[in-house]
Amino acid sequence: MLQVVIHAFLLALGLILPLGAQNVFVFNQGALQPRYARALPITLTASLCDTLLISLAVFGVSAVALGIAWIKTTLLSVGVLFLLYMGWVIWSSKPGGGASGQAERLGPRRQIVLTASLSLLNPHAIMDTVGVIGTSALRYEGWEKLAFAVTCIAVSWLWFHALALAGRIAGKADPSGRFLVVLNKVSAVIMWGTAIFLGLSLFK
């Protein structure tokens, strides 16, 4: 069982560490909030969405859906459009100090909606979860499969909360907001680059 847990931990960590659209959004919003508690709607939503995706991947439901060509194409198309839109919103935003800018404009409800959309409409996250975690879980049965899923989910919860906390620390260290302006531009470019990459994959 320990070997299963280690395998799941390293696999989940390897998938979640890269600087993707979901990660930069969580970090960015954590930096913009006046208090860490204000970022909880974001971290909880991202964690719950990952819990859903991992559960579906491990137990095979989403693998069946992604095997249908038109569902996969629709998912990729919606994801590309959403990433383009999110990139424009973040590029256009002008955060000021730690308690200004997007932190005032995004209430808990909008935080939840945007985080859920970015998590569940992110084809990269879905493909990684289903293609890597889902297929890796095929080698396990019973309690080992459950332990594998729970470990992957635990890594996700710890990561998003730590990422928002790191963002809050960075935001406090830069009260002028200059770092956040640069971070917004980098975040937007990453989202646009991801959208272009996914868009090109539709024509392969």
What own/partner pairs with CB < 8 Å and gap ≥ 24 does 109-113 have?
A: 111/29, 111/41, 111/42, 111/45, 112/41, 112/42, 112/45
pLDDT at 142 over 60: yes
pLDDT at 58: 83
> In this predicted model, what pLDDT tens digit does every residue of 161-191 receive, in sequence order?
998 998 888 877 766 667 667 767 777 787 6
- Can you tell me the distance from the alpha carbon of 149 to that of 182, in angstroms, rounded to the nearest whole number? 36
- Can you tell me the distance from the alpha carbon of 201 to that of 77, in angstroms, rounded to the nearest whole number? 10
- Can you tell me the distance from the alpha carbon of 123 to that of 77, in angstroms, rounded to the nearest whole number? 9
pLDDT at 204 over 50: yes
